[in-house]
Amino acid sequence: MLVTMKQSVLDRAEDRKPAPRRRGRRAGIAIGVIALLGLGATGGGVALGMIPQPFAAAPAPTTTPSPTEPAAPSTPAAAPVQETPDPAPPQTPSATATPSPAAATIPADCTGLVAPSEAARLFGETPLYDPTGKAELRNAAPLTTTLSCLWRDPRSDVSGLSIDVGTGTAEQLTAYEAGLTAKGATCTDRDEARVCTQTQQAAQYPVDTTDTWYFRGTTWFHVNQTNFPTTDLLGAVEQQIWG
């Protein structure tokens, strides 16, 4: 279209071209043509601007990705399941049992009052009269006498050792101990037993006679020694009766 308009203007200019003899007029025409060309170019630009352009599609809206929440870690199928054990119930301390007193066993005769291995150490060569211990039971009322044993040198008048063994109730043993202390005996504790001792001068000779009483449970024994020293005789008899 622009080319056609330009050609039309040129054609009109040729038709109106003046005679050669009028040079001034020709110059004016040329200037007018150039002006028209300028206007034509401008108008063509305007015309071109007015030409509708193909419709451009609007750009598709862009979506902003929403923040993705972190996925929870998955537990492997083979992972062991840990279980919290139930708390153990508190343990109640058991009551401490009180040991029962050892039972006493009175030997059947005098030979059982000390162990055979102790007899030589304690009695030496001194003979034992009436090994059965039943021939002459010494009185210890209100207590009951079960055995009366005597070791004495036949060449001596007073030297010797005797052991009496018997039983009695708790009340009888308590009363008997009270009678001993009233006569001057001294009583003390010996583990589970009560032991009373008293030493006096023999009646006929200037030698000591020592009496020792041993009370434990409902059993007792009495040792009388005149000029007959021993070592741990109480322990030896205690072992045989109470074990």
Residue 130 included in any domain: yes
Would you give per-residue pLDDT tens digits along the chain (243 residues)? 444 444 554 455 455 554 445 444 444 444 443 433 443 444 444 333 433 444 444 455 555 545 555 555 554 444 444 555 566 666 655 555 555 668 999 999 999 999 999 999 999 999 999 999 999 999 999 999 999 999 998 898 899 999 999 999 999 999 999 999 999 999 999 999 999 999 999 888 899 999 999 999 999 999 999 999 999 999 999 999 999
Whether the CB-CB separation of 170 and 178 falls below 8 Å is answered with no
Residue type, 122: L
Q: Where are the alpha helices (DSSP H) in the chain?
A: 2-15, 23-50, 116-123, 170-182, 233-242
For residues 155 and 126, what is the distance between their CA atoms, to the nearest angstrom? 10
For residue 119, the domain's CATH number is 3.40.1000
Same-domain check for residues 6 and 122: no
| Structural domain count, the chain | 2
Strands 160-167 and 186-190, how do they pair? unpaired
Range of the domain at 228: 110-242
Read off the pTM: 0.60
CA distances (Å), 55 to each of 52, 137, 207, in order? 8, 148, 152
Same-domain check for residues 125 and 237: yes
pLDDT of residue 81: 47
The token pair that represents 46 in the structure block: 């305007």
Same-domain check for residues 34 and 133: no
232 three-state secondary structure: coil
